[in-house]
Amino acid sequence: MNFYLGGLNTFGYHLVNVVIHIINGWLIFWLVLKTLSLSRSGISKLGQDYKNYYEFKTDDRFAWKIAFSVTLIWLIHPVQIQAVTYIVQRLASLSALLCLCSFSLYLSGRLRSDQKKYLFYVLSIFAGLLALGVKQTAVVLPFLIFPYELFFFHESPWKALKKRWWVLVLLGVFLSIMTVVYLGPNFWETLQQSYAQWDFTMWQRLITEARVIIHYISLIALPLPSRLNVDYDFTVSTSLFEPFTTWLSVVAIFTILVYAIVIAHRQPLLSFAILWFFGNLVIESTIIPLDLVYEHRLYLASLGPIAAMTLFVYQKLIVRHKSMGPIVLLIVAIPLAFWTFQRNQLWADPIKIWTDNVKKSPGKARVYANLGEVLGSEGRYEEAAEAFERAIQLAPNYFIAYNNLAVIYLHHQKKYNKAKALLHRALELKPDYPTGYLNLSAVAQRQGNYNEAMRALKKALELDPTNLEAHYNLALYYKRFGDFSKAMEILNRGISYWPAAHLLYLLKGRIYLEINQPTKADAAFRKANVLRPDDPKYVITIRRLNKIWIIY
């Protein structure tokens, strides 16, 4: 939708991300407020008249203040930057939006006594399925709703659990189905094979994540910009005692979880806040083979610790000194807002954010490769080449770095033989790398070897049948050699994948002119002009008397 309305203008993408974030904040406020009402009002019974939950009472003012504080801190917290400012991480914020909608719809239905509650339940399931379609981490949603039901709608969670053992069976079936859907019937074998591309084992990842989770908690408590990072170079735990903090982290997490279970009956709010935190991290912070650390994973999870810390402060301090509430909130909110602003200043400049990342992760090749890309995009090719060379030194098998360094040699330093050698090395490391073949075709073209260039483009399309650039360039070669029917065949196939690619229509128009079909050429040029009227590479005009298109 963003691309349709605004193309590649990033303002629209950022605006939508911020709007999603604000809506999430509103949903969190409502959920926290209703949960506080449930906890304060005692145990609710199914079939009871719940209309009072939609009305503010005098003692709701205190609950309102707690909910507002939790929401404000969550909204402005610096750990949310990666999920909101980083455009691609809309996956995290949009999935969170749908999960919160699903949770809110469930709670709205649960608080009703009429038949409309079933409509809310159906809508809740629908929103949950949409969330699952956005990001697989939403699979934890029913595993969070079930303990919420036990904690806040039953006098004893454990007695309720015994009576509802069948729900656990259903949840197990649901998890099994989702596992097969996403990983296939041989899911364990699939997981093992997926670890082949990583430099850690499943066991090493699992115990490393214990330290990662403690790091996450520390970031929520003290999110200084100097501690925040885009791409972490996190030391892998090779055993429970290497590094030494591994077993301490495991013990700490185990203790926290046991504590949450023990206090579930007496302090359901705190217990559920703990379960919310770990539940939202369980997919990406256990055995699934992913990068070890990313701050966007805290987007929803951070609500748990923030709510727990806020409740603690209110219970221990503000209940006795009510005038301290606004003061404490300001003391917390002002530095958080300042740190968020400060960190976003780095995110506003790609070179600054990746330079900062290099300082914090000096041993990670991917960070240097990313810095090289943004340096190259700014025309700083010498510095970009140095960054790619450093990436190759750190990771000699990092095929992307070889490819990107070859691009610098090819397009900006005219070192074609060096570029070709680097691309061959990249393809040795990654034979199914279509971008490598695309760039190899460009080298061949610069060296006048058109047959080799076409072979490379065909290989790129074989590996990636949807590749836009390969379709365009291969069609251009066939046009150059006079095989217009083959060129048209390739262009039409490309348009079937990329119906908004104006360059394909421009090339079709040129071919139609060469084969003396001006009417079809006119239609193709008009289509290209509609799709991209502001293309700086082309100035397209039409002489309406004789229908001749002039393309500069």
pLDDT, average across residues 281-288: 94
pLDDT in tens, 410-457: 999 899 999 999 999 999 999 999 999 999 999 999 999 999 999 999
CA distance to 5, 135, 533, per residue, from 2 (Å)? 5, 19, 18
d(CA 299, CA 131): 14
- Strand-pairing partners, residue 541, are 550
Whether 397 contacts 426, CB under 8 Å = no
pTM of the model: 0.84
pLDDT at 51: 38
Strand, coil or helix: 549: strand
The rounded radius of gyration (Å) of the Cα atoms in the chain is: 28
DSSP conformational letter for 234:
P
List the structure tokens of 550. Answer: 């002039």
Q: What is the pLDDT of residue 541?
A: 38
Q: Which of the four pLDDT bands, split at 50, 70 and 90, describes residue 4?
A: low
All domains of the chain, ordered by start, with CATH?
Answer: 2-347 (no CATH), 465-552 (1.25.40.10)
pLDDT one-digit tens code per residue, 501-537: 889 999 999 999 999 998 899 898 888 888 877 665 5
Contact 63, 33 (CB under 8 A): yes
Query: Would the pLDDT of 325 be above 50?
Result: yes
Higher-pLDDT residue of 544 and 430 is 430
pLDDT of residue 317: 74
- The pLDDT score that the predictor gives to residue 545 is 28
- Looking at residue 543, its pLDDT comes to 39
Q: Which run of H or E residues covers position 543?
A: strand 540-543
pLDDT for the residue numbered 8: 67
- Dist. CA 373–CA 351, nearest whole Å: 9
Looking at the chain, the number of H-run helices and the number of E-run strands are 27, 2
Whole-number mean pLDDT of the chain?
A: 88
Residues 221 and 279 sit within 8 Å (Cβ to Cβ): no
Rounded-to-integer distance, Cα 70 and Cα 312, Å: 12
Asked if 321 contacts 287 with a C-beta cutoff of 8 angstroms, the reply is no
Per residue in 326-378, pLDDT (tens digit) is: 788 889 999 999 999 999 999 999 999 999 999 999 999 999 999 999 999 99
Cα–Cα distances in angstroms (integers) from residue 101 to residues 27, 82, 96, 531, in the given order: 7, 22, 8, 36
Query: pLDDT band for position 266 (50/70/90)?
Result: confident
Amino acid at 75: L
Residue found by looking up tokens 């406020």 in the block = 29
Count Cα neighbours of 480 within 13 Å in the Cβ-side half-sphere: 10
Whole-angstrom Cα distance, residue 112 to residue 124? 14
Give the amino acid at 139: V
d(C-alpha 135, C-alpha 127), whole Å: 12
d(CA 260, CA 264): 6
In whole angstroms, what is the distance from residue 148 CA to residue 545 CA? 73
| CA dist., res. 285 & res. 292, Å (int) | 7
pLDDT for the residue numbered 322: 67
Q: By three-state DSSP, how is residue 407 classified?
A: helix
pLDDT of amino acid 265? 86
pLDDT exceeds 50 at position 244? yes
**Chain centre to alpha carbon of residue 283:** 14
Tokens linked to 502: 């104006």
* pLDDT at res. 182: 84
Q: Which alpha helices (DSSP H) does 349-414 contain, by range?
A: 350-360, 365-377, 381-394, 399-411
Of 40-44, 142-146, 390-394, the one with minimum mean pLDDT is 40-44
Q: What is the pLDDT of residue 318?
A: 66
Q: What angle do CA 484, 487, 488 make, to 5 degrees?
A: 85
Q: How many CB atoms lie within 10 A of CB 517?
A: 14
Q: 368: closest CA among 233, 234, 235, 224?
A: 233
